A = this chain, B = another copy of it.
Amino acid sequence: MNIEPELCRVEDTLDVLVGKWKPIILLYLLKNGTMRFNELKKSIPDITQKMLTKQLRELEEEEIINRVVYPQVPPKVEYSITEYGKELEPILHAMHEWSNRHIQQKQKNQMKK
């Protein structure tokens, strides 16, 4: 079965996943369940605070993740994946596997040259 290109929603999913850091954020949350802001920050050393905040807000907006603020000092904010966001997991998996094949394929073709 084909997707009619005119009716394609692939781009909408890409919009959700794209943002340079979103997949890795989601993978961490899928793996660890609930994580605090700084846990994520430490897990992804190269991300800036600004970017982490921004990506989390966008994921929250799309209802892929939950954001829970504990009104205390010092502040505590926990992030977790929504039930609905978990449905992205097979897609992330498929992309991961495809990419592993992709790497091998490219290496083969390198050797031909």
Contacts and interface: CB of A to CB of B under 8 A. Distances in A.
Nearest to A25: B5
Interface string A91-109: 1111110111111011001
A4 to B, nearest CB: 8
A99 B9 contact: yes
Contact of A3 (B14, B92, B102): B92
A63 B108 CA distance: 12
Copies of this chain per assembly: 2
Interface residues of A, number: 44
Contacts of A63: 105-106, 109
Contact of A92 (B10, B20, B28, B101): B10
